[in-house]
Structure 1
Amino acid sequence: MAEISVAIAASHAPGLTGWFDKAPEADRKTVLAAYAEIHEAIVRSRTDVLLVIANDHIANGFVSDYNDFTFGLADRHTGPDEWFKPWLRVPDYELPGSPDVGEVLYESVKDCAPRVRATRENLRYDDNLSVPTTMAGLVSTGVAVVPVLQNCTVPPVPDEKVCYRLGETLGEAIRTRLPAGLRVGLFGSGGLSHEPGGPRYLEIDEKFDRWWMDLLVEGDHEKIRTDVTFERMEEAGSGGTSELLSWLVVMGAIGPRPCKALGYAAVDQWRCGFGAVRWDLS
């Protein structure tokens, strides 16, 4: 049976690439060190396929018929999408896909939420995949990628309980339905607190961010699911903080366990709190 080789999560704020130099040097060093450790963890774990779970920013559907989860089954994933290039300011990239693995996992979880779908077309990627690809140097690893884009904004949003349960099903499928010896990594991309385009656009809820990071380090998943609801995320920044639901998918897949905090930074100019973690799979 296959094995979950690495489990990590990090913010993908566009400011990390488009406005990186607006932050103090100490905060820039924090981000670079965190993403360097993520790169090293992916390489060291000998990961064959990396699932990048991230929110879709309503770039791949209409609010009248919006997918809860979309599995990208293309042979190659290319980005960033042309529309997002001016503010992301990242190089064009191409990542190998793993449609066979993605298809098995999609079939395993497609009944976990009302609208779980898959596509073999290249999706439109903004900061959700483009920032971690750039900052973690995914192209240089040669690792195949299966993007899983999720709905974090269009009601009804699959909440923390739905996302965790889907993660549990995903983890079971990795361990029981994929080929023996395959090493599958999980990357939750998104968060922390921010409110894109809203009245708190220039605010970061540092108290919430540090509380969230501390809870993850403690590793009590039941407490997290009870206390860090979708509604609580919205209070910390509507339409943005809920990207942390992607981290809940990863947590469901690996089960309750502590993690290592790789760094935190609150930079107003980035319009988003930055955080990164790596879970202990030993």
Structure 2
Amino acid sequence: MAEICLALAASHTPGLTGWFDKAPEPERRVVTEAYDAVHDAVVASGADVLLVVGNDHVANARVSDYADFTFGLAAEHRGPDEWFKPWLRVEDYVLPGDPGVAARLFEAVRDTGPGVRAEPGDLRFDDNLSVPTAMARLVETGVRVVPVLQNCTVPPVPDERACYAFGEALGEAIRALPDGLRVGLLGSGGLSHEPGGPRYLDIDEKFDRWWLDLLQEGDHERILTEATFDRMEQAGSGGTAELLSWVVVMGAIGPRPCTSLGYVAVEQWRCGVGAVQWHLD
């Protein structure tokens, strides 16, 4: 029986790499310390594999044929994608993959919904994988990465309960992996933002702090009842629902509290930025 040894979530706004210096120094320090904590947690956990669950920004499929969840099966994951380089300003990276683990997890959960797929070739990564890779220095950790890209934008979007149920199935599949394997989870996305919309410059700090407070209490049923997809959309259409990646992680580990690693609302980054680590006994 494998073990889920780590559960984290963090924002991946491109402002963190593309225009980091535009934020005031105290806010930059909070975010740097939060992502340093993510790096240290990955190392301390002894994770062999890290599943990074993050939204796909319609970069890997047509809108008319869009998967809900896509497992990356490649032996290496390279980024950032060429189109996004001027925007992200992230150095090229290569992360080791784990095709065997990725394939076994995909086979275990593929029947949980019609939109679960696997991609044996290269995926196009923007801020979903590139920002946590850069900010948390994942290459230095040597951890093998399995990306799971999810649909948070193209209707019909799997809502909070569908994502939680997928997470539950994913957690069972992880625990069924070979004995001794240590697996970490990182939800990549959020917090409140509305990319390209009328509230592009707005951050719903009240929502963000409410969400983080709910997570720290650890009552998952309350979160699923109150922090719905529609409520996320109210806090920022087309962006805030990236928090569904956090919901997948929650489903995989079950109800438990977490610790906030920090939060800032920086207008220059166009997004509320925060990170959490769940308590795993």
TM-score bracket for this pair, using the shorter chain length = over 0.9
CA contact (8 A) 1:163 1:248 kept: yes
Match of 2:279 in 1: 280
Deviations 1:93-126 (A, max 9, x none): 0000001001111111112222110011110000
Counterpart for residue 13 of structure 2: 13
CA distance in 2, matches of 1:247, 1:121: 26
Residue 232 (str. 1) matches residue 222 (str. 2): no
Aligned to 1:170: 170
Deviating beyond 6 angstroms after TM superposition, the runs of 4 or more aligned structure 1 residues are none
Aligned match of 2:28: 28
Alignment of 1:236-247 (within 5 A): 236-247=235-246
In structure 1, stretches of 5+ residues that fail to align are none
Question: Which runs of structure 2 are paired with 1:186-205 in the superposition (5 Å)?
Answer: 186-205=185-204
The SS at the match of 1:263 is strand
Amino acid at match of 1:238: S
Give 3-state SS (helix, strand or coil) of 1:64's partner: helix
For 2:26, the aligned partner's letter is: A
Distance 1:137 1:6 in 2: 16
Question: How many residues in Structure 1 have an aligned counterpart in Structure 2?
Answer: 281
Partner of 1:147: 147
Name 1:211's counterpart in structure 2: 210
Correspondence for 1:133: 133
Query: TM-score under structure 2 normalisation?
Result: 0.99
C-alpha distance in 2, partners of 1:122/1:133? 17
Report the AA paired with residue 86 of structure 1: P
Secondary structure of the equivalent of 1:111?
A: helix
Question: What is the percent sequence identity of the aligned residues?
Answer: 73
Paired residues for 1:109-124 under 5 Å: 109-124=109-124
**CA distance in structure 1 between the aligned counterparts of 2:113 and 2:150, rounded to whole angstroms:** 11
SS for the counterpart of 2:165 is helix
2:80 aligned residue? 80
Aligned residue for 1:181, secondary structure, equals coil
1:153-185 alpha-carbon deviations (Å, 9 max, x no partner): 000000100000000011111112x11000000
Give SS of 1:7's match: strand
- 3-state DSSP class of the match of 2:65? coil
CA distance in 2, matches of 1:81, 1:196: 19
The 3-state SS of whatever aligns with 2:17 is helix
Paired residue secondary structure (2:261): strand
Tell me, in whole angstroms, the C-alpha distance in 2 between the residues paired with 1:113 and 1:36: 36
Q: Which runs of 5+ in 2 are unaligned?
A: none
> What whole-Å deviation, never above 9, does each CA across 1:185-240 have from its counterpart, x for those lacking one?
00000000000000000000000000000000000000000001100000000000
| One-letter amino acid matched to 2:155 | P
Amino acid corresponding to residue 256 of structure 1 in structure 2: P
Q: Secondary structure at the match of 1:146?
A: strand
2:103 and 2:160 mapped to 1: Cα distance? 24
Distance 1:107 1:220 in 2: 30
The more displaced of 70-79 and 112-121 is 112-121
Equivalent residue for 2:222? 223
Q: Counterpart of 2:280 in 1: which secondary structure? A: coil
**Conserved 8 A contact 1:52-1:187:** yes
2:37 corresponding residue in structure 1 = 37
Q: What amino acid sits opposite 2:253 in the alignment? A: I
Cα distance in 1 for partners of 2:59, 2:279 equals 34
Deviations 1:117-145 (A, max 9, x none): 00111100000000000000000000000
**Partner Cα distance (1:37, 1:117) in 2:** 32
Task: Please give the TM-score of this superposition, normalised by the length of structure 1.
Answer: 0.99
* Residue number in structure 1 paired with 2:108: 108
Let me know the Cα RMSD of the aligned residues: 0.5
